[in-house]
Structure 1
Amino acid sequence: MRRAIPAAVALLTVGMLTVGMLGAGKSDPLEGRVAAAPVRCIDIQRSGGPEIVDSQTILYRQSGKRIWKTGPVGECPSLRPFDTLIVDVYGGQLCRNDRFRTVSAGMSIPSATCRFRDFTPYDRVK
C-alpha cells in the first residue's frame, strides 16, 4: 500500500506546444521516438518536472533518453500550457489515477482535481 505524503508537491511546468499547435521553428518533443507499452507507475525521482502540452497531454523527461507521456482521465479543462501542476504524491512513484490540480499564473486557488492516465514511454530511435 502506498502512503500519501501530507502536502501536495507543486511542480512548475515548462509549457510546450502540441504537434497540431506547432508554429514555425517549434519541434515535436516526441519526434524521432518510438512508443512502448504503457505502464501504471513511473519513478518520480528519475524524472524531470512535468511539461503541460495541452489539455490532454503531460510529458515527463527521464535522463534525455526517455519521455513519459500521460494525460488526464476524461476531461480536465483547467490543464493548459504554462500552468503549475500540483501533484498529490504517494511514495516515490507517480501512478495512474493519482490526483493533480493546476494553478494559473497570478491565481492562488487551484483547479478541480483531475487524475492521471497510464504513462507511455517514448524512446529515441537508434
Structure 2
Amino acid sequence: MRFFFPLAALALTAGCVATPQETAREQARQDRDLARLDRDLRGWSPGRPQTCVQTRNANVRIYGDTLVYDDGGRRYLTKTGGGCFGLQRDDIIVTQSFMSQMCRGDIVRTVDRTAGFPSGACSFGDFVPYTKNGR
C-alpha cells in the first residue's frame, strides 16, 4: 500500500505529457496563426506601442495568443500573457473595462460558446497601432 500514492501520482501526471504528434500539431497551429497574422498585417506599418486604446466598434481577430482589434482605419495588436486557452477554440471573449478604453494588464476571459463555462483568463499586453501604408 505504501507504493500506491507515488504510482497513482505518476499515472495521473503521465496523461499531462504531450506526445510528439500533439507537439507537432501545436507547432503547426502556431505556424498557421503566425502566417495568417503576417498576411493580415501586410501593407500596414507599426507605430509606437500604447498602454491604452479605445476599441469601441472594433472587430477582433484572433491569432493564437495575439489579438488584433480593427476599427477600420487602424489595427491594434496586443499579445496576451497566455492562459486564454479558449482563444484557439473560438470561445467568446469577455473583457471588463471601467473606462471607454482597454489597457495593458486588463483581464481577458474566455467562455465556452456551448456550455457557457469559463475556459481561460489572460491579460492584455501593450497595444501596437498599425496604419495602412500610404495614409
- TM-score for both structures, normalised by structure 2: 0.66
Q: Does 1:109 align with 2:120?
A: no
> In the alignment, what sits opposite 1:48?
58
1:114-125 alignment to 2 at 5 Å? 114-125=122-133
Using the size of structure 1 for normalisation, the TM-score is 0.70
Unpaired runs of 5+ in structure 1?
Answer: 1-16
CA deviation after TM superposition for structure 1 residue 29, in Å:
1.5
1:18 maps to 2:51: no
**How many corresponding residue pairs?**
102
Preserved contact between residue 18 and residue 28 of structure 1 (Cα < 8 Å): no
* Structure 2, gaps ≥5 residues long: 1-31
The structure richer in helix per residue is: 2
Identify which of 60, 66, 71 aligns with 2:74.
66
Q: Identity across aligned pairs (percent)? A: 28
Larger-gyration structure (1/2): 2
Which residue is 2:7 aligned to?
A: none
RCO comparison, higher one (Cα < 8 Å, 6+): 1
RMSD of aligned residue pairs (Cα, Å): 2.1
Name the structure 1 match of 2:4: none
- Segment drifting more, 97-106 vs 74-83: 74-83
CA distance 1:68–1:81, change in 2 (3 Å): farther
